[in-house]
Amino acid sequence: MNIDRYMIKDTDGKILHKLDPNDTGGLKSKTDADSKMIALKDRLAELQDIFFAQKKHALLIVLQGMDSSGKDGTVKHVFSGINPQGFTVTSFKKPTLDESAHDFLWRVHKQTPAKGYISAFNRSHYEEVLVPRVHEGQDKAETKRRFRHIRHFEEMLSEENTIIIKLFLHISKEKQLEKIQERLQDPTKHWKFDVSDLEERKYWDDYQEAYEDIFKETATGYAPWYWIPANHRWFRNYLALNIVVKTLEQLDLAYPKLNSPTPDISELISPRH
């Protein structure tokens, strides 16, 4: 599949209305994707094994999106087959007092993956140019400054061998309402319902505008943004998994070789031992 179509490039700050949350990349139904998902997950496990052994790169996957866009579900369905020893998920909530007393990248930098490891950020430093902007009157100069710091930070990570991909889960406003209603009706989903989600919906346009700026300011070659049509869960998972696999495939992955000449095993198993 061609993932390039979903990479956000050269935006003028007005693209979201052109991106269809119902897009399914030409696939007709969940069944079409399901059969390919199994092979893709095997491939991911295979690549991760080499990635972990080689310890040359780290991989950071940033997940952002409106409430109910499916960040938790994406983590669950895309990475359920991965070796958990080499994988971590960090969910960034409202900053604690200690976190707020540091620069906004402090808590994020602490959680970046080591070489050989894959990390998913469920929300991230991008929250710091969303919530304070929509709700706390963060001024334009400050948002601008933070964009610059984010670019510098991601550039540094990238030059120090961390591969970064950023996924924006794109749902429609109608779909969001549908999902919130689902949470109210399905007893197994009640725990996910938060009355503040309805409150936040009033700021839908402000958040979308803030995202437009995020794409404009931080879609870089070293840390690209992909938009993931997310009205259909199955396509959301399928595309996200494809992007992760393709990203790993583009690296020069190889199991490390022995440093020294191969020891003569017959020596080790000789009667003398």
* H or E segment to which residue 239 belongs: helix 233-249
Q: Is the distance from CB of 52 to CB of 86 less than 8 angstroms?
A: yes
* Binding to its own copies, residues 198-237 (CB under 8 A): none
Find the part of the chain contacting its own copies (CB under 8 A) among 41-49, 94-102, 196-204, 208-216: 94-102
- Residues of this chain, 115-144, that bind its own copies according to CB under 8 A: 115-116
CA separation, residue 253 to residues 40, 93, 99, 102, 116 (Å): 17, 34, 36, 37, 11
Report which secondary-structure segment, H or E, holds 246.
Answer: helix 233-249
Within the chain, strands assigned E span 58-65, 87-91, 118-122, 162-170, 225-229
End-to-end alpha-carbon separation of the chain, Å? 55
Quick one: which segment of 9-17, 155-163, 180-188, 250-258 binds its own copies (CB under 8 A)? 155-163
Are the C-beta atoms of 65 and 122 separated by less than 8 Å? no
Q: Does residue 160 belong to the site contacting its own copies (CB under 8 A)?
A: yes
Residue 153 in contact with its own copies, rule: CB under 8 A: yes
To the nearest whole angstrom, how small is the minimum distance from the Cβ of residue 100 to its own copies? 9
Q: Considering CB under 8 A, how many residues would be counted as binding its own copies?
A: 26
Binding residue for its own copies, selected from 98, 252, 264, 267, defined by CB under 8 A: 98
Alpha carbon distance 241, 249 (integer Å): 12
102 scored as a contact of its own copies (CB under 8 A) = yes
Residue 177 touches its own copies, criterion: CB under 8 A: no
Residue 55 in contact with its own copies, rule: CB under 8 A? yes
Chain residues that interact with its own copies, rule: CB under 8 A: 55, 58, 98, 101-106, 109-110, 112, 114-116, 145, 149, 152-153, 155-157, 159-162
